[in-house]
Chains A and B, each alone.
Chain A
Amino acid sequence: MSEKFRLDKGGLINRNKKISFKFNGKKYFGYEGDTLASALIANGVHLVGRSFKYHRPRGFFGAGVDEPYAIVQMNRNNEVDPNVRATEQELFEGLEAKSVNCWPNVNFDIGAINNFLGKFFPAGFYYKTFMWPKSFWYKVYEPIIRKAAGFGAASIKHDKEKYEHKYEYCDLLITGSGPSGLASAYAAAQNGAKVILAEDKSRFGGSLLTSEVTIGNQSGQEWAEKIISELKSMPNVVVKNRSQVFGYYDHNMLVMSERISDHLPKTEKYIPKQRLWYIRAKEVIISSGSIERPLVFGNNDTPGVMLSSAAKEYLKIYGVLVGKKPLVFTNNDSGYETAIEFKKNGIDPIVLDTRKNPNSEIIKEAEDLNINIKNSYVVVAAKGYKKVKSADIAKISDDKKNINNIENIKCDCICVSGFWTPTIHLASQSGNKTKFNEEIDAFIPSKSKQKETTLGSANGTFTLEETLKTSFKKGNELSKQITNKENKVSIPSVVEKKYSNHDKFWCVPLPEGKNYKRFLDFQNDVAVSDIQLALREGYRSIEHVKRYTTLGMATDQGRTSNLNGLQLVSDIENKVVPQVGHTTFRPPYSPVSIGAIVGREIGKHSKPTRKSPMHYWHEKNNAVFVDAGVWLRPRYYKQGNENLFEASKREARNVRQNVGVCDVTTLGKIDIKGPDAAELLNRVYTNAWLKLPVGKARYGVMLREDGIVMDDGTTTRISENHYHMTTTTAQAANVLSHLEYYLQLVWPELNVNVVSSTEQWAGAAIAGPKSRDVLQKLFPDLDVSNEGLPFMGYMEGNLFGVNAKIFRISFSGELAYEVNVESDNGNFMWEKIMDVGKDFNIQPYGTEALSTLRIEMGHVAGSELDGRTIPYDNSLEGLVSKKKDFIGKRSLSKLAYVAPDRQKIVGVVPLDKKTSIPEGSYIVKDAKAKLPNPKLGHVSASCWSVEYDNPFSLAIIKDGKNMIGQKLFALSPLKNKTIPVEIVSSHYVDPKGERVRS
């Protein structure tokens, strides 16, 4: 297809490079420098999508970030990108895109029947209709609504593209490279400030690229090019295009998304697709410009109706005509610029001006060019379904209430201009209380909360001369304060046309007997009638009207709809706009891809993985790993075709019968030193610590101030003022912070230092009746007999030339030792243990066997110390000192904590000795009781007892003390199981604890 709407010359595109692309399966050509939108319009394609609610045909309305309609599904290098704005997507060779929200295709869309059922789809339709019957919601309504709603379809494949994050600090961040951005950046850069200038489009210059102005002796565009190339050459300036600053957060932190590769057919190797910048700026200059406001009339969503500024941009930047019989409908002078541009390119436009006697330089120029201008004229309705074919126009009375002399004129596009809306989103996000400026009928920033300054048309300044003057001045002032240097630049002279006042009229009344839809929000299909209905139904607050009608809630954040919506509400309510107020702007200003937000933190990079020094030995020996916090721990070591259950039983049984070894490197370790170390431990733990001799370990429980158990572990006195504390793997970091809190803030008089030594030590637990034999072989020179190294004893030794710490402590309930060596020697130690242990049938065991061993011993762990239990609940009350005070002690006397039927840990055995009880099951008295069945407590941990060869569980149940021997039921509604059980002591194996002392 040829480019029927491309001019022979003009524009900033590269006509030497032709590019082919596909839209909805059809092949077209464009040029390098085109957007998908400009290339499609050049080819005469105006129908690009269907609207959200009514599935009405939709085309292009804007030329950039303001575009509410032209959202397409992109296919780039075999990756799908949903919801891309065609007006922002730069053309590249082989680009493929298709329309969204239509089925089976954009030309024939079945959903368009909604358009004719329109009266059944009023504002709040979903809220009103799908309320009943309740059971229909999940099965009928929701699936249908979900299918019908939404735009693009996300890919379910893994995204192969790379995204990255970058942190940056600067003196000035300037958002937007139009005249105000360029001038302020230039002035600040001259003063030596570190400047970042961000432009969301590919070309710098903003409005200078399309306006007919002279700065100094250059055109606006030439001046912009000169300033940009100068800024680029300065070492203190970073200039970024395709970069949208979309969020303004606390303490002048702004986030910007840089689209690095989206405009290329394929992302280059080692280059990310997009980069997210977190920028902390000392000062922010918001030079985001303004967006043209639509005028509201019948069928103003028909393809071919678009902003006059967009039509001008397509002409001047892309050399593309949006139509050959244009109608320009305006309430201000901007529409004339577009009309003149058409005329200069040999097209005859008709201008309809709502004003009665407008008079200005630019109108004079249009008259001199013999442009057909009709004053006091309006467009009543656009005609044509998939494209504008004609327009009903009419004379409007002076009071703007009545329309007369309706006539139909042929046209193929309608360019509308309803004056300008400053882009205040970033200022509003920063906390700026915006104010309404009656002169321009729009909100502009007012008092800053953070260090931000808005300049140019974003601040309601619409003359170039004033914009440049204030921007050079502000750029100089703000940077001078930071750098203490001043290198003033002279402000160039400006030639521009003077504008006359705009007309406050913006919404054309309906002619008698007609009910044309007059759209306010083009993306969410909110029409004038919807707002009127919402107000009739009693909605008053603009925030409520917004949510009820979805006005301004689409992905374009109401860029083209907000002010007209507010105007309408204030007109109906007879209020002025500032009383109605505007809804809150929230980040992101423009949609950001999830990939950019996630950055590199995907898959294994989403959190660090910590491995013990013995990790590779485990790997070589068929360990199956499990995530334990951030650590990877062997869960079991697979032999042959064993499954988890079989392997863990074998490993646990071997500990009970022979000897096993377990990697306990992950246990938290804290080194404690100082003359008051014992006093600290005495205050932190519930039991007494002042008299622990050197060379001895002790088990301790620590509480939070509310009496809940925080953690448990053993602490060993290495020397007079030196202790080695162990914590559970999960709580290691919290316990360290907890100790630091009390040492730094509560008891600073204690002379103690604490430091984490988790990573410094590799640990191996050697457990089982034959563990002493293994230990003796490891340390042949040491007396490791029951007398030489008794239970809870500590020794230092030499393990084949390596310094080692030996603790006689046990988690498995067997005779056991933990040997620690410096991390670098961990693997050496492990191999030696395996080597000397061979004679005693040593086997490594993983966390699953470890759990089995501790559960049948009734030793508590994380599943019992779950942040809801006190020492008594875990049968740890024997460790609670009555004599001394400690953290959380006062809470233990709370009534609920001393209730006679307080919950307590018990053992649970199924009566059939076969059925395993799922963890999390309820314990109840009567399995058949009426629901909700009162529960006594829950099963916290389950295992297969290797000692008795039957299932065994721990549970924390109400009045557990008096429940031993009772026959109750374990209920698992999740697994649909009811298991008759007997309650036994939690110390199922070796209740007297003889083995650890043997």
Chain B
Amino acid sequence: MLHIKCPHCGLRSQNEFSYGGDATVKRPELNKEVSDKDWDNFVYLRKSLIGKHLELWQHISGCRQWIKVERDTLTHEIFKTLKANEEV
């Protein structure tokens, strides 16, 4: 079980969190023209990479904040955790 450092609460066990996918995906702005391809990429296309991955987790059984976690998908090493509004 992973040990994740919530930037708001501190080190907590994985079972307090829920996974939220790739944190680098940006939602297209509202009311803007989006091509079929760009929209499809946004909705469906995700990297399945080996190595460093910046991802979202929500501390659902804690402060309920969405946070960013930089994790190695192969070794589970966590390099960094960030608040929702912070960039790597």
Contact = CB atoms under 8 A, between A and B. Distances in A.
B1 A890 contact: no
A748 interface: yes
Interface string B44-67: 100000000000101010001110
B76 A706 contact: no
Contacts of A705: 27, 42-43
Nearest to B38: A890
Interface-centre pick from A431, A449, A745, A891 (highest chain B CB count, 10 A) = A745
Contacts, number: 53
Contacts of B44: 706
A947 to B, nearest CB: 42
Interface in A706-756: 706, 733, 737, 740-741, 744-746, 748
A431 B34 CA distance: 45
Given A737-B60, A890-B28, A890-B39, A250 B2 contact: yes
Q: Size band of the A side of the interface?
A: 20 to 34
Interface in A676-708: 683, 705-706
Given A250-B1, A251-B3, A683 B30 contact: yes
Contacts of B28: 890
A683 B66 CA distance: 19
A582 interface: no
A251 B60 CA distance: 20
A741 B84 CA distance: 10
A502 to B, nearest CB: 36
A253 B3 contact: yes
Contacts of B66: 740-741, 744-745
A249 B84 contact: no
B16 to A, nearest CB: 12
A431 B75 contact: yes
A748 B85 contact: yes
A676 to B, nearest CB: 13
A744 B84 contact: yes
B73 interface: no
Nearest to B85: A748
Nearest to B39: A890
Interface-centre pick from A280, A683, A744 (highest chain B CB count, 10 A) = A744
A253 B65 CA distance: 24
A683 B30 CA distance: 9
Contacts of B43: 705-706, 891
A503 interface: no
B20 A741 contact: yes
Interface in A875-899: 884-885, 890-891
Contact of A249 (B1, B58, B64, B75): B1
A748 to B, nearest CB: 6
Interface in A586-638: none
Nearest to B65: A744
A25 B13 CA distance: 49
Contact of A741 (B2, B30, B58, B78): B58
Given A249-B1, A251-B78, A740-B64, 7 more contacts: A251-B3, A737-B58, A740-B58, A741-B20, A744-B65, A746-B27, A891-B43
Interface of B: 1-3, 13, 18, 20, 27-28, 30-31, 34, 39, 42-44, 56, 58, 60, 64-66, 75-76, 78, 84-85
25 contacts: A249-B1, A250-B3, A251-B1, A251-B2, A251-B3, A251-B76, A253-B1, A253-B13, A278-B1, A280-B3, A449-B75, A683-B30, A705-B43, A737-B60, A740-B66, A741-B20, A741-B58, A744-B66, A744-B84, A745-B66, A746-B27, A748-B85, A885-B31, A891-B39, A891-B43
Q: Which 6 pairs, one residue from A and one from B, show the smallest C-beta to C-beta distance?
A: A251-B3, A885-B30, A744-B84, A744-B66, A250-B76, A885-B31
